[in-house]
Amino acid sequence: MKKGIALLLICLLLLTACSSNSNSGSGSKNTGNAAADNGTSGNTATTEPAHAKEITIWAWDPAFNIAALEVAKAEYAKTNPDVKINIVEYAQADIIQKLNTGLNSGTTKGLPNIVLIEDYRSQSFLQSYKDSFYDLSGSIKGSDFADYKSGPTSLDGKQYGIPFDSGVTGLYARTDYLEQAGYKLSDLQDIDWNKYIEIGKAVKEKTGKALITLDPNDLGLIRVMIQSAGEWYLKEDGKTPNIAGNAPLKEAFEIYKQIMESNVAKVHADWSQFVAALNSGDVASVPTGNWITPSITAEATQSGKWGIAPLPKLTANESVHASNLGGSSWYVMNVDGKETAADFMAKTFGSNVEMYQKLLTDIGVIGTFKAAAGGEAYTQANEFFSGQKIVSDFAAWTEQIPSVNYGINTYAIEDILIVEMQNYLNGKDIDSVLSDAQAQAESQIK
């Protein structure tokens, strides 16, 4: 009896062992195949450069980034029909998690060949995982792209990223509400934030609509304001916290509080509520990145009711009417297939002026490739915005965006500031708000 049980158990163990063997067997078979593929390409390397036949790309936002990739894929297929390109859509937070866990585990299996990373985060990846990204200095020239993009996309003089989405900001405003309050879009040209609030009060009084919608958990507006003055949460070295004694940051905080206290702001808690506030006509304006255009134009009934003015500026002299909010860039991973991935990027986003025209007319993507701005699509009038040539406006503002060093701690510092902002709104003195935040940032960031 016992023998029988023992036998049964051994059989069971063997079975599991076998099945796990066969699993790992098929696993290694897969890698074997991949190795074989590389092997063949390696063999042909004597005659032509080693190129993988298949690459994978991760990105977020189907209406914007994924759509742009599809255009690039079609463009690349014209000259390289044998390369298979897999485009995988993940939410941005998922990409960050997958990249971090993948890179930390030390195995490159499961990582993509190309990945989209937000500019605020790129240095954190480049510096935390050295050698995990492929040096593109030989494929593209960083100087071909908007200057403020070079900080986030390069490290130690090497170009790692292909600058993409500009993130250039503008002040989107409802011209019909402005008119009811006795203003025109031209009244929003070259104003500072105080004037903006003043106009907002009039709009609120006449139309009952809020001037702006804000998420208390997102200090994007503060980021926009300080970058317009060439300052950041960190000093130029990208390491030392620059909070106490940062004049533009102090002014930005004061403006934020004024907006809150003037009763011209509506509060939202997430992206969908944010877009809903714009589309429902609840707010009169939104100062944000140009990537909001597809979301605004999605509400076709509001065609002709929106216009775009330059960003208001701080009263500090060095502040300009241009800034960046959450732009992103492409990065090639240092894994098998990197040469093909780099070639794909160089031939599409890295050089193809024609493609950028198509990206603009079909999707509304404003890239940061300087040469593309001379194209025809950049000067076209936009019906939704009453015939305003919004792209040439944005392209002009892109050139003025001051460069800052985002460092690797943007979101860590911002979480400290969000808390201090609440304290400030509740009556804490501004100087102690900033010096407390400075002290906390210094103790947390090492």
Nearest-approach distance from CB 269 to another protein, in angstroms: 5
Q: Is the Cβ–Cβ distance between 63 and 294 less than 8 Å?
A: yes
Give how far Cα 246 sits from Cα of 39, 235, 243, Å: 56, 10, 5
Q: Which is nearer to another protein, 32 or 110 (CB)?
A: 110
Residue 416 touches another protein, criterion: CB under 8 A? yes
Q: Which is nearer to another protein, 16 or 44 (CB)?
A: 16
Q: Is the Cβ–Cβ distance between 389 and 360 less than 8 Å?
A: no
Site mask, another protein, residues 122-161, x = CB under 8 A? --xx-xxxx-------------------------------
Residue 44 touches another protein, criterion: CB under 8 A? no
- Contact pick of 185, 284, 314, 408 for another protein (by CB under 8 A): 408
Percent of the chain as helix, strand, coil, to the nearest 5: 55, 15, 35
Q: Which is nearer to another protein, 86 or 97 (CB)?
A: 97
- Contact pick of 412, 428, 430, 435 for another protein (by CB under 8 A): 412
- Contact pick of 103, 247, 260, 377 for another protein (by CB under 8 A): 103
Q: Which is nearer to another protein, 419 or 430 (CB)?
A: 419
Residue 184 touches another protein, criterion: CB under 8 A? no
H or E element in which residue 286 lies: strand 285-289
> Considering only CA atoms, which of 400, 171, 175 is closest in space to residue 292?
171
- Contact pick of 61, 147, 216, 235 for another protein (by CB under 8 A): 216
Nearest-approach distance from CB 415 to another protein, in angstroms: 7
> Considering only CA atoms, which of 389, 380, 384 is closest in space to residue 303?
384
- Piece in contact with another protein (CB under 8 A), picked from 152-160, 165-173, 328-336, 418-426: 418-426
How many residues belong to the site for another protein (CB under 8 A)?
Answer: 41
Under DSSP, is residue 338 helix (H, G, I), strand (E, B) or coil? helix
Please state, in angstroms and rounded to a whole number, the distance separating the CA atoms of residues 203 and 183.
9
Residue 189 touches another protein, criterion: CB under 8 A? no
Under DSSP, is residue 282 helix (H, G, I), strand (E, B) or coil? coil
- Contact pick of 50, 396, 418, 430 for another protein (by CB under 8 A): 418
User: Partners of 164 in the beta sheet?
Assistant: none
List binders of another protein among 264-293 (CB under 8 A).
267-270, 273
Residue 19 touches another protein, criterion: CB under 8 A? no
Residue 377 touches another protein, criterion: CB under 8 A? no
Residue 238 touches another protein, criterion: CB under 8 A? no
Q: Which is nearer to another protein, 174 or 268 (CB)?
A: 268
Instruction: Find all residues with CB under 8 Å of 8, minimum gap 6, and list them.
Output: none
- Report the Cα 421 to chain-centroid distance in Å: 24
Nearest-approach distance from CB 238 to another protein, in angstroms: 11
Under DSSP, is residue 141 helix (H, G, I), strand (E, B) or coil? coil
The phi, psi pair for 91, rounded to 5°, reads -70, 155
Q: Is the Cβ–Cβ distance between 146 and 163 less than 8 Å?
A: yes
Q: Is the Cβ–Cβ distance between 321 and 336 less than 8 Å?
A: no
Q: Exposed, middle or buried by CB within 10 Å (0-12, 13-18, 19+), for 227?
A: buried
**Contact positions vs another protein (CB under 8 A):** 2, 5-6, 9-10, 13, 16, 93, 96-97, 100, 103-104, 106, 124-125, 127-130, 216-217, 267-270, 273, 408-409, 411-412, 415-416, 418-419, 421-422, 440, 443-444, 446
